[in-house]
Amino acid sequence: MFTGSIPALVTPFRNGKFDEVVFRAHVDRMIEGGSSAVVPCGTTGESATMTIEEHNYVMAVCIDQVNGRVPVIAGCGSNDTKVSLLHLQHAAKAGATAGLVVLPYYNKPSQEGLFAHYSYLAENSPIPILIYNVPGRTGSDISVETLARLSRLPAIVGMKDASGHIARVSAQRLACGADFCQLSGNDDMALAFNAMGGVGCISVTANVAPKLSADFQKACAENRYQDALVLQDQLYPLHSALFSDSSPAPVKYALSRLYPEFSSELRLPLVPPTEKSKALVDAALSHARLI
Task: Clarify whether 278 is annotated catalytic.
Answer: no
DSSP state for residue 206 in the 8-state scheme? G
The catalytic position among 160, 218, 252, 278 is 160
Q: Is 127 annotated as a binding residue?
A: no
DSSP assignment of 114-167 equals HHHHHHHHHHH-SS-EEEEE-HHHHS----HHHHHHHHTSTTEEEEEE-S--TH
Strand order in the sheet with 129-133: 4-7, 200-203, 181-184, 156-161, 129-133, 98-102, 73-75
The catalytic position among 17, 57, 120, 132 is 132
The Cβ-side half-sphere exposure at 82, using a 13 Å CA radius, reads 0
Question: In Å, how far are 134, 160, 252 from 211, measured between CA atoms?
Answer: 26, 21, 18
Q: Is 44 annotated as a binding residue?
A: yes
Task: Clarify whether 132 is annotated catalytic.
Answer: yes
Which residues are part of the catalytic machinery?
132, 160
Positions at the binding site: 44, 202
Positions at the binding site for pyruvate: 44, 202
